[in-house]
Amino acid sequence: MPVSEYFYPKRIPYAPQVPASSLTPVKTSFVKVSDGLTDEDCICFTVGRELFYFFYKSFKQEPAQPVEYLDKRTYKGVAPTCHDINQFSASADSVRVAVGFIAGQVQIIDVRTKESLQIMNEDRSVEKSRVTCVKWFPNSENILLAAHISGFMYTYDITQPCANFMPQYHSQPYKSGNGYSIYTLKTKNTTISSPNSNGSTATQRNPVYKWVMSTDGSGVNAFEFSPCDKFVAVVTQSGYLRIIDHSTFDEYGCMKSYFGGLLTCSWSPDGRYVVTGGEDDLVTVWSFCDKCVIARGSGHRSWVSEVAFDPYCCTIPSDADMKAYYGIPSVSDIVDAQNPHQFGQDSDKSNSMDKVADAADDRYESDTKTSHTDSLNDVGIHLKLNGDMPTSLANSAIRRLRTYSNVSKLSRLSIGVEGSAPSLSYRFGSVGQDAQLCLWELDENALFFLQRSKSVMAPTSQHCDKEEEQNSSKEQAPSNFNFPAGDVDVNGLSGLDYSGDGSSYHNQVNNYHHRTSLDSSAVLVPSSRSSSVPHSINASVNQKERKHSSKLDSSNSLSAIRKFATIGTHDRSQKEAKEHKRNLSLPHFGFKSSANHTSSNTTSKIGFLRKPQPPKVMKTFGTNICPCLDDTPMLVPLICKKVSQGRLTCLDFKDDCVVTTCQDGYIQLWKRPEMPHNVNSPTASTSSLKEQIKPSGTTV
């Protein structure tokens, strides 16, 4: 399969003879630079010890011509491992790039003026281990975050010097979370111990924060700031995804890989979902609203090295429509409901960062509205006027089947209304060490699978017990999340989970740092419980129903929807038996299985109200943090294609193509395959090709 166009600087595959552990990943990143008249896409590309910066169009349009570099650097002694362009401050005159190195340093360069501005951690006194990921804080010119393979992350303020001596941190963490803690510098001591600097700059301010992200020394592999700029998603070698509010350092939620380390993460354009990829060869979709894994995807045959949402192929209704038709609140709603502003706390330390966060909230509001919704809004209104009239046969079939199994309040919402709902789908891609590029579609079926099955199986006893265990475990996230009381009806989203959270919440109040919405929690618990418990009195009944539902699901996905991405239907009929056996043989599921077998209302209730004991071992498997394989839908890729010889390291989506980077030093451009059902996608219509990725130009 030929590639569309390719580029590599030396015209030979990059294959140095060094130990694999000292090999640095080949990375690309993009920036749009405006000189006032035209926007120019530029690429920054690191391979081996070299860094290149050039116009994207220069190899896109004339592949035969040698690429003209705007900047080219060759490092001696150290090799760059990662880099990030400051998108916020990038202009025709200045493009700042932070480059992380294998020995722990972070250099700030300007690839436009070809200046080398500053080096943080130059003498490695702050950190000696490899930088795995470096990113500028959103909307910040000067503050960046660097993650290391040691499990530490550092916030640097590049307006402040990074002194060349061992930083002294306060012995008490500035903030302690579940499995992570944040430390600040002892500023007084360092002032004294820096004899060379004069009085005015004596105070050492860097690193501003030291983030200790693991207790067992396992490394941070990557992180990504949320589109709302408020959160950072951090993935670690220990397999955790943590969503942390980077101004307060509160953990919003967390997730664990099926097994092995997580290597990459990406936020959906609206911030409602985070996709991760890792050493379990899976992609995992985590819902920001529900704080749980809602789907996994199987298609890669080795580790998944990068995932990215395709913003050009996501169909996201407006916030209002999302809420009305799908019961999904916006990210800002959730944040507002959960966390009344607490920015005052660290104002002394990081004024600039607070401003950034505040400004970010405002910007996000307008951003989402303008970028995604305007045209879709019209569609939504139009369909609404049509009322119950099905827009198409397939559509109505999908909706009907989707709604039949909802026994809770969701059904009221969904019947009739849903047929007119604006379409909703997310597209993301992944690349892996198997040299495969996979494209995935997260459509309504996947998004609501869990919601649907939860409302049917309603495992009050087992889920709530798990929730309690999970919440009482010290390593766990306080996944306690409250909608405003008014939202519960519209929402209906896995109310069971919230009730479980709510009940454990009362036992766990002291463990949480900023739980301000106790009241709404108290309101929420009875309402959701009353709606869900009656359906779950008998576990065997539930299982029958569930089995029934999954059968219909499969027929649904086979006949009604002719989409590429369908939910992989596991063999549910055998699963039931399997689950019982499994529960019996697993010691730490003992409680769950006993409740399951007696399956009486009383045990459920007892389980529900049981005071959680501090568990000895952390239990995540089988919970929302890391559900069993059969408890979430398994997505199959729309497209799964081996596109290179070497393993792939980077994936980007441009308006006209998909860009992959491989460890051999190639950058490849791919035309998007046409997705017949996705007519809203702006790029799909430009291509008349079939479902395979096809070349768009000539090769060198």
Give me the least distance between CB of 547 and another protein, in Å please.
14
Considering beta carbons, is residue 197 or 218 the nearer one to another protein? 218
Contact 307, 283 (CB under 8 A): yes
Q: C-beta of 249: minimal distance to another protein in Å?
A: 26
Measured distance CA(438)–CA(433) in Å, rounded: 12
394 binds another protein (CB under 8 A): no
In degrees, rounded to 5, the angle at the alpha carbon of residue 427 between the alpha carbons of residues 421 and 433 is: 160
Q: Mark the segment that binds another protein (CB under 8 A) among 62-70, 295-303, 476-484, 681-689.
A: 295-303
> For residue 250, what are the contacts with CB-CB under 8 A and spacing of at least 6?
175, 177, 244, 339, 513, 514
d(CA 638, CA 550): 22
Q: Which listed residue (62, 519, 571, 691) binds another protein by CB under 8 A?
A: 571
Least Å distance between CB 134 and another protein?
18
User: Which of the stretches 103-111, 375-383, 542-550, 575-583 binds another protein when contact is defined by CB under 8 A?
Assistant: 575-583
Stretch that binds another protein, among 175-183, 505-513, 534-542, 572-580 (CB under 8 A): 572-580
Q: Calculate the alpha carbon distances from 56 to 30, 92, 267, 696 in Å.
A: 8, 15, 24, 16
Least distance CB 645 / another protein (angstroms): 9
In the structure encoding, which two tokens stand for residue 629, read together?
Answer: 């394989």
Q: Could you tell me how far CA 410 lies from the centroid of its own chain?
A: 26
Stretch that binds another protein, among 442-450, 468-476, 577-585, 677-685 (CB under 8 A): 577-585
How crowded is residue 518: how many other Cβ atoms within 10 Å of its Cβ? 14
Which CB, 574 or 686, lies closer to another protein? Answer: 574
**Which stretch in 139-147, 491-499, 524-532, 586-594 sits in contact with another protein by CB under 8 A?**
586-594
Q: Is the CB of residue 638 less than 8 Å from the CB of residue 644?
A: no
CA distance 301 to 258: 15
Pairing of strands 292-298, 634-635: parallel
- With CB under 8 A as the contact rule, the residue among 195, 199, 587, 614 that binds another protein is 587
> Which span sits near another protein by CB under 8 A: 259-267, 458-466, 487-495, 653-661?
259-267
Minimum CB separation of residue 253 from another protein in Å reads: 22
**Closer by beta carbon to another protein, 599 or else 620:** 620
Residues 660-679 that bind another protein (CB under 8 A): none
Identify which of residues 343 and 621 has a Cβ nearer to another protein in the complex: 621
169 binds another protein (CB under 8 A): no
The CA–CA distances, whole Å, from 570 to 209, 566, 567, 589 equal: 46, 12, 9, 22
Closer residue to another protein (CB): 15 or 166: 15
- Cα→Cα distances 238→78, 127, 352, 480, Å: 27, 20, 32, 23
CB of 554 to another protein, least distance (A): 16
Q: State how far the Cα of 567 lies from the Cα of 576, in Å rounded to an integer.
A: 19
* Best CA proximity match to 497, nearest among 466, 518, 476: 466
Choose between 105 and 298: whose C-beta lies nearer to another protein: 298
**Dist. CA 517–CA 519, nearest whole Å:** 5
| Residue 104 Cβ vs another protein, minimum distance, rounded to whole Å | 13
Which residues, numbered 617-646, are part of the site for another protein (CB under 8 A)?
Answer: 621, 628-629
- Applying CB under 8 A, among 49, 369, 544, 582 the residue interacting with another protein is 582
Return the HEC string of 141-158.
Answer: CCEEEEEECCCEEEEEEC
Of the residues 61, 92, 201, 259, which one makes contact with another protein according to CB under 8 A:
259
Q: Which of 303, 481, 483, 608: binder of another protein (CB under 8 A)?
A: 303
Please give the single-letter amino acid code of residue 286: W
**Minimum gap (Å) between residue 440 Cβ and another protein:** 18
d(CA 654, CA 677): 21
User: Looking at beta carbons only, is 17 or 198 nearer to another protein?
Assistant: 17
Phi then psi dihedrals of residue 106, to 5 deg = -130, 120
Pick one of 578, 597, 654, 694: the residue that binds another protein (CB under 8 A): 578
Three-class SS state of 35: coil
Which x/- pattern, by CB under 8 A, does the window 8-37 give for another protein? Answer: -------x-x-xxx-x--------------
Q: Which residues contact 17 (CB under 8 A, 6 or more apart)?
A: none
Q: What is the DSSP letter of 324?
A: I
The secondary element (H helix, E strand) that includes residue 304 is strand 304-309
Residue placing its CB nearer to another protein in the complex, 277 or 422: 277
Count, residues near another protein per rule CB under 8 A: 37
Is 261 or 492 the residue whose CB approaches another protein more closely? 261
Residue among 116 and 215 whose Cβ is closer to another protein = 215
Please tell me whether residue 437 adopts helix, strand or coil conformation: strand
**Segment 174-233, which members bind another protein (CB under 8 A)?**
218-219
Nearer Cβ to another protein (214/350) = 214
Extract the tokens encoding 424: 């909703």
Strand-pairing partners, residue 562, are none
Using the contact rule CB under 8 A, the part of the chain among 258-266, 410-418, 519-527, 602-610 near another protein is 258-266
Give the Cα separation of 544 and 541 in Å (integer).
5
Query: How many whole angstroms separate alpha carbon 247 and alpha carbon 360?
Result: 12
Which residue lies nearer to another protein by CB, 82 or 228?
Answer: 82
Query: Is 18 exposed, middle or buried, given 0-12, 13-18 or 19+ CB atoms closer than 10 A?
Result: exposed
Query: Which residue among 48, 80, 104, 239 contacts another protein (CB under 8 A)?
Result: 239
Q: Which is nearer to another protein, 245 or 280 (CB)?
A: 280
Whole-angstrom Cα distance, residue 238 to residue 25?
A: 20
The contacts of residue 490 (CB under 8 Å, 6+ apart) are 323, 324, 327, 413
CB 411 within 8 A of CB 489: no
Min dist. Cβ of residue 629 to another protein (A): 6
**What are the tokens at 73?**
């650097």
d(CA 239, CA 280): 9
**Three-point CA angle 657, 659, 664, nearest 5°:** 150
Residue in 113, 574, 685, 686 binding another protein, rule: CB under 8 A: 574
CB 470 → another protein: shortest distance, Å? 17
Which one of residues 57, 581, 642, 690 is an interface residue with another protein (CB under 8 A)?
A: 581
Q: Least distance to another protein from the beta carbon of 242, Å?
A: 18
Query: Residue 65 carries which side chain, given as an amino acid letter?
Result: Q
Q: Among 86, 160, 214, 433, which residue interacts with another protein (rule: CB under 8 A)?
A: 433
Contact segment (CB under 8 A) with another protein among 207-215, 416-424, 527-535, 578-586 equals 578-586
- What count of Cα atoms within 13 Å lies in the side-chain half-sphere of residue 526? 4
Task: Mark 451-490 with x for binding to another protein (rule: CB under 8 A) and - for no binding.
Answer: ----------------------------------------
Binding site for another protein (CB under 8 A): 15, 17, 19-21, 23, 130, 149, 218-219, 237, 239, 258-261, 279-280, 298, 302-303, 433, 571, 574-575, 577-578, 581-582, 585-588, 621, 628-629, 647
